[in-house]
Structure 1
Amino acid sequence: MDRKIPLVILAVVIVVSALAILTPGGRQADVNPKLPWQINLRDDGATEVFGLVLGQSPLSQASQLLQQDPTLSLFRSPAGEYAVEAYFQRASLSGLRADFVMTLAVDQNKAAQMFDRGLRISQLGSGTKKVELADTDIQQAMASTIDLITYIPSADLEPELISRQFGEPAQKLDDPEGPQHWLYPAKGLDIAVNPESKEVFQYIHPQRFDALIQPLQAQQPES
């Protein structure tokens, strides 16, 4: 019986070790974490976040990374501008759960053709029209590069935590609708800090940051 005790201990150690390297759901622990504050500015000026390079990585790479097929939608604004978006709901990455919305770099002429082939058209309150992509256009969308990432964490983050992880913003702008925007232009990052709701993170190529926040700046009161 004494000889069996070491074998039992060895078995327990093996089981515990196996559990230690697995995350809930049986996934292997991420040895290379991809967290929202880990922003890499590449030599070519592009932003790399969540293991994706804005303006270079295709949507298919994000789908593989998040282990989820996105919901694809195409929007047409009242001004006739098109935007193709991919939505990942409650995706888990490096132990954090969040919603991801990725805007794709699709030529406006091609987007117009995709809109005409779209399914189940609906109109939003703003006058923007939305369609689901037809099956023939899904493959093209999956091969399109990611232009903008919107990240909405499941947990409500305190401003102190955001400041500690991201540093102090270069500028803070109040949104008339409620949240305060913390701007990090060098990183291509805009964080909408909302004490009444969840925060919203937007990542874009730093060279295009001004275009991202231009609508917000236009709403600022004149000094």
Structure 2
Amino acid sequence: MQRLLAVMGILLLLSACGKSDPQVVDNLPWDITSTEQGTTRVFHLELGKTTLRQAIEQWHSFPELAVMQSRTNELSLEAYFGKQRLGLFEAKLVAELVADPAILEKFSQEQIKREPQASGAWRLSVSEANVKLANDFLIKYLIYIPVVNYEPELIRARFGEGAEIVNLTATVDAWFYADRNLAMLIDAKGGDMFYYSSPQDFPQLKTKILNLPAEQAHE
């Protein structure tokens, strides 16, 4: 039923997008631009140029910050904005920030809470002092988790036909749009995820997704 409602809602949107009202087509997940400066513009942000502070100002929302420690002890810094309304849709937003190994180690050592994840990773909550330090970090990847799920035909209709599709699990496919610096995890059971990247970071993003453990592909 959720998939059916999603199809009906997005089909209505497709019809609305042909109208002259500019508000109808603003801030949509398929509105992606590669700039001459080597960044990706989406949701009024420029990945590779926009800082965490600027995203906070744009969305009027303060995120929770955590260092993610993978099963192989790789570290990354993520800002969790929770559910936001962008354009006509609601979605959960997560920004992965640019942080060098020394910063990641510092933040992980000074964590204030350690939580296990289903994938075998650990979520290490960042201290208040380190949250302030992270405000000027650049956004490397933006993860957009829509409330509704997208059928393959609707993805092709709005994002284009040029995706490379790789099967990750029995129910999860990865869709890669290299020309748009976009990757998707499309789960037949629900829980789609869109990953936006700057051009220079897209190859690393693709490798990261292809190496996801099966459990994490479902998170």
> TM-score normalised to the size of structure 1?
0.78
Q: Which residue of 1 aligns with 2:136?
A: 143
Contact 2:181 2:196 in 1 (8 A): yes
Partner letter of residue 167 of structure 1? G
- How do 1:112-131 and structure 2 match up within 5 A? 112-131=105-124
Is 1:72 the counterpart of 2:65? The answer is yes
What is the CA distance between 1:185 and its match in structure 2?
A: 0.6
**Structure having the higher Rg:** 1
**Which of 35, 47, 56 is the aligned partner of 2:40?**
47
Q: Report Cα offsets for 1:25-81 as digits up to 9, x if no partner.
A: xxxx95882111010110022211111111110111212222211111112234432
**Which of 185, 189, 192 is the aligned partner of 1:196?**
189
Q: Distance in 1 between matches of 2:134 and 2:23?
A: 28
Q: Percent identity?
A: 28
Partner letter of residue 52 of structure 1? L
- Counterpart secondary structure, 1:86: strand
Is 1:109 the counterpart of 2:109? The answer is no
Gaps of 5+ in 1: 1-28
Q: Which residue of 2 aligns with 1:96?
A: 89
Distance 1:157 1:79, change over 3 A: closer
Q: Distance in 1 between matches of 2:111 and 2:55?
A: 23
> TM-score normalised to the size of structure 2?
0.79
Partner letter of residue 169 of structure 1? G
Q: Which moved more, 1:57-66 or 1:119-128?
A: 119-128
Is 1:168 the counterpart of 2:161? The answer is yes
Q: Which moved more, 1:46-55 or 1:121-130?
A: 121-130
Size of the alignment, in residue pairs? 191
Higher relative contact order (CA closer than 8 Å, sequence separation 6+): 2
Is 1:206 the counterpart of 2:206? The answer is no
Gaps of 5+ in 2: 1-21, 213-219
- How do 1:210-221 and structure 2 match up within 5 A? 210-215=203-208, 217=210
Distance 1:87 1:189, change over 3 A: same
The CA RMSD measured in Å over matched residues stands at: 2.2
Q: Distance in 2 between matches of 1:144 and 1:63?
A: 12
Q: Distance in 2 between matches of 1:195 and 1:128?
A: 24
- Counterpart secondary structure, 2:179: coil
**Which of 74, 77, 93 is the aligned partner of 1:81?**
74
